[in-house]
Structure 1
């Protein structure tokens, strides 16, 4: 005789299964977010999510099958890492925030200083303000700022090397050797992303070496990063700033974004208001 299940005995099983599936979906979304922020190791993900490493490995396998991550030895990366926008594409993005950050950074410079200027659009906004000084030495690998710096009344040292077209800057052994022979009062560094406890995230290892060299040879290091960069790890190359640094960012940063930096003893956080600022003519939004 065929028996049909009563409603009271049939309903709980699907409900429990649905709840488990929901918890798995939530956990996997958290994994994607954590990998995006730079947490890529199975053991770290396991500890932070309070589940076993084998559960994490199963989740990573499913996310890989869905095309959302790429598995690596001992961890994972987001699928699609490596898309790098050009300087021209980034120039109009978060312009008010970058302008406010650069204006605050400019207050740290005094006549007689030597400064390292990294490539990038945020650091680049420092340059017009620097031209009001009479007695500076500016050392840079950024091609985009040379036309303005050429008109300045102070000493400009351009680091030679291999041209990186996306960032319009120089990298490689020649740049690295030049940096070994100079020092500065300040290093102003940009970032594609920055994660507390890890450092600056960049598209290419050659860029990270330049940033580390500038930081190592400067008395003070300042990372200029708008709030969209905080906790963001869009690529897989890292510059480790072992000597500590000042992070200058805008007031769009959330408490959650700022908390890891506030808890890092080696980081001083400076937050600036990003009010309306007049854009240069022709700059896209």
Structure 2
């Protein structure tokens, strides 16, 4: 059967087969392969993701269990404006004299950049991106939790970081995520990361998960951080409305930021 004769159900089945064969399928590649528009493919991928048959990625989808952990340098180039918009909103929530926990990652690195001109602020972090952004921020007191460096994520994990975290509390915690779902919480490649995220959430008065649209509903790995009863998801305006509503229906406070505003800024 040729691809131009496939109906929608057959096309979606073929998309899943391609993702399992190649590990990942891009929107443009799939549109060309099946002779349909990219909008049609995006709708296919949204449905397949909601059914749990694929995991969304930035610009496409992949089969569950096929996701390699992406180096931080590569992730810093993905969804850049979306991360800027998310970081700008997050920075506005932080008041003077607060102590905030910043996770490792590219979006929290953007948040640290937004905080460089602040005074009377304490930032506690496990992320090298955060440390680099605040290295010359004289008005910000920076505390590093220490621990074992995960080179691929440029984050510190392990018992040293956990022991230091047990000795502090914070007004707010801003966490990154490889993915986030309504059912399971934050998905990461490593159990040490999920344990530390859970501890950070327990030590903070308010919890925010900073996740661009490509990370919603995905299950690329098998390590999960359980969420507290109350938390806020901060995403961008590329997030599928049905996915946003699923989080809200579960009692999650969802903030959708504007990438147009970030681009103009």
Alignment partner of 1:197 out of 179, 183, 194: 183
- Aligned residues of 2:185 and 2:227 also touching (Cα < 8 A): yes
Number of the residue aligned with 2:141: 155
With over 3 angstroms needed to count, the CA separation of the structure-2 counterparts of 1:32 and 1:80, relative to structure 1, is farther
With over 3 angstroms needed to count, the CA separation of the structure-2 counterparts of 1:133 and 1:275, relative to structure 1, is same
Number of the residue aligned with 1:172: 158
Deviation of 1:37 after TM superposition, in Å, equals 5.4
Q: Residues 57-104 of structure 1: CA distance to partner in whole angstroms, max 9, x if unpaired?
A: xxxxxxxxxxx97xxxxxxxx3424x0111101111110100000000
Q: Residues 219-245 of structure 1: CA distance to partner in whole angstroms, max 9, x if unpaired?
A: 000011111111011111101112321
Q: Does 1:216 align with 2:202?
A: yes
Q: TM-score scaled by structure 2? A: 0.76
Runs of 4+ in structure 1 deviating by more than 6 angstroms, as ranges, are: none
Number of the residue aligned with 2:31: none
- Aligned residues of 2:108 and 2:130 also touching (Cα < 8 A): no
Alignment partner of 2:171 out of 175, 178, 185: 185
Q: Residues 38-74 of structure 1: CA distance to partner in whole angstroms, max 9, x if unpaired?
A: 9xxxxxxxxxxxxxxxxxxxxxxxxxxxxx97xxxxx
Number of the residue aligned with 1:136: 121
Q: Does 1:98 align with 2:116?
A: no
CA distance in 2, matches of 1:107, 1:234: 31
Larger Rg: 1
Q: Does 1:145 align with 2:130?
A: yes
Alignment partner of 1:84 out of 69, 74, 94: 69
- Aligned residues of 1:96 and 1:276 also touching (Cα < 8 A): no
Unpaired segments ≥5 residues, structure 1: 1-20, 39-67, 70-77, 280-285
Number of the residue aligned with 2:253: 268
Number of the residue aligned with 2:223: 237
- Aligned residues of 1:188 and 1:223 also touching (Cα < 8 A): yes
CA distance in 1, matches of 2:148, 2:128: 12
With over 3 angstroms needed to count, the CA separation of the structure-2 counterparts of 1:226 and 1:139, relative to structure 1, is same
- 3-state SS, counterpart of residue 259 of structure 2: coil
Number of the residue aligned with 2:41: none
CA distance in 2, matches of 1:108, 1:276: 17
Unpaired segments ≥5 residues, structure 2: 1-8, 18-47, 57-61
For the aligned residue pairs, the C-alpha RMSD in angstroms reads 2.7
CA distance in 2, matches of 1:219, 1:243: 12
CA distance in 2, matches of 1:249, 1:128: 18
With over 3 angstroms needed to count, the CA separation of the structure-2 counterparts of 1:206 and 1:151, relative to structure 1, is same
CA distance in 1, matches of 2:133, 2:87: 16
- Aligned residues of 2:236 and 2:257 also touching (Cα < 8 A): yes
Q: TM-score scaled by structure 1? A: 0.71
CA distance in 1, matches of 2:53, 2:200: 28
Q: Does 1:110 align with 2:110?
A: no
Deviation of 1:255 after TM superposition, in Å, equals 1.5
- Aligned residues of 2:65 and 2:221 also touching (Cα < 8 A): no
